[in-house]
């Protein structure tokens, strides 16, 4: 029997991939929903002779792109992208979101920022009335202790993200630590995004509250 959440993710991914036009340069996010979009892009490359390039946001996405036959490029060669496709962990009615379950949010935000349009693919379970998930924060290992103290001063409860099947901290694709910091209900997502980023040693955080105008949310299974 098919899983309705998986089918919703597949539907969202396919619909996002079908927004891609010949000649586009596309940001490729990270996560199970984006991988459905990438699988579909690979099929379109073969069946329609679609010519596109992708910019991957993680090592895992780069490996999937190879598997699906999506040619890759870099932000150095293509600093402006036509669109970026990515998943999210929570999305509110104003299209503000929390990302970073996969610890790829730093590169995901860089790639989303570079794109003319940000296409977010989710299942309905990701929709929330207000953001309240712990915020993933990528941190320079040298600054870990002082960043923890600053996050506590902001009212957060920072927890080091530890590995699964690996002892000790998760090391991001960029060689840094990841802190998950709960703030309860986030009343001002844009303000909190800015306040966290202002802490020396923070490299990026998973609140995406400043690109809502160019964001399109596709909820799988819903037209
Ligand atoms: O932010 C992310 C990775 O850092 C993912 O896009 C987010 O966690 C959604 O993943 P999935 O599509 O597997 O539910």
> Domains in the chain and their CATH numbers?
4-128+211-219 (3.40.50.1360), 135-206 (3.30.70.260)
Would you state the pLDDT for residue 223?
A: 74
> What is the pLDDT at residue 71?
98
Which of 7, 39, 43, 108 is catalytic? The answer is 108
Model pLDDT, residue 47: 97
Q: Is the CB–ligand 1 distance for residue 29 below 6 Å?
A: yes
Q: 105 CB less than 6 Å from ligand 1?
A: yes
Ramachandran sector of residue 165 (left: φ over 0; alpha: ψ -120 to 50; beta: rest): left
108 a catalytic residue: yes
pLDDT at 27: 98
In contact, 180 and 105? CB cutoff 8 Å: no
Which residues belong to the annotated binding site? 30-33, 86-89, 99-102, 126
* 122 CA → ligand 1 middle, Å: 9
For residue 29, the ligand 1 atom closest to its alpha carbon is: 6
Alpha carbon nearest to ligand 1 atom 8, residue: 101
Per-residue pLDDT of the chain (223 residues; tens, 9 = 90+): 789 999 999 999 999 999 999 999 999 999 999 999 999 999 999 999 999 999 999 999 999 999 999 999 999 999 999 999 999 999 999 999 999 999 999 999 999 999 999 999 999 999 999 999 999 999 999 999 999 999 999 999 999 999 999 999 999 999 999 999 999 999 999 999 999 999 999 999 999 999 999 999 999 998 7
What is the spatial distance between Cα 152 and Cα 147, in angstroms, rounded to a whole number? 9
Ligand 1 pocket check: which of 11, 84, 87 to mutate, most ligand atoms within 8 Å of Cβ? 87
DSSP assignment letter at 72: B
Are residues 8 and 123 in contact, defined by beta-carbon separation less than 8 angstroms? Answer: yes
Atom number in ligand 1 closest to CA 136: 4
**145: enclosing H helix or E strand:** helix 144-153
């Amino acid at each position: 029997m098919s899983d309705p959440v998986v089918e919703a993710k597949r539907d969202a991914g396919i619909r996002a991939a079908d927004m891609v036009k010949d000649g586009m340069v596309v940001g490729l996010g990270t996560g199970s929903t984006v991988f459905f979009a990438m699988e579909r892009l690979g099929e379109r490359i073969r069946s329609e002779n679609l010519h596109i390039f992708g910019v991957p946001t993680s090592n895992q996405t780069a490996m999937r792109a190879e598997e699906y036959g999506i040619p890759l490029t870099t932000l150095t060669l293509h600093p402006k992208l036509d669109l970026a496709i990515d998943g999210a962990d929570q999305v509110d009615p104003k299209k503000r979101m929390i990302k970073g379950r996969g610890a790829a949010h730093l590169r995901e935000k860089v790639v989303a920022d570079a794109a003319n349009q940000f296409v977010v693919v989710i299942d309905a379970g990701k929709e929330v009335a207000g953001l309240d998930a712990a915020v993933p924060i990528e941190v320079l290992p040298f600054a870990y202790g002082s960043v923890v103290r600053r996050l506590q001063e902001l009212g957060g409860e920072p927890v080091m993200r530890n590995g699964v099947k690996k002892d000790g901290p998760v090391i991001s694709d960029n060689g840094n630590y990841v802190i998950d910091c709960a703030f309860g209900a986030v009343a001002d997502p844009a303000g909190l995004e800015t306040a966290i980023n202002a802490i020396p040693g923070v490299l990026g955080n998973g609140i995406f509250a400043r690109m809502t105008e160019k964001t399109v949310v596709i909820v799988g299974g819903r037209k």
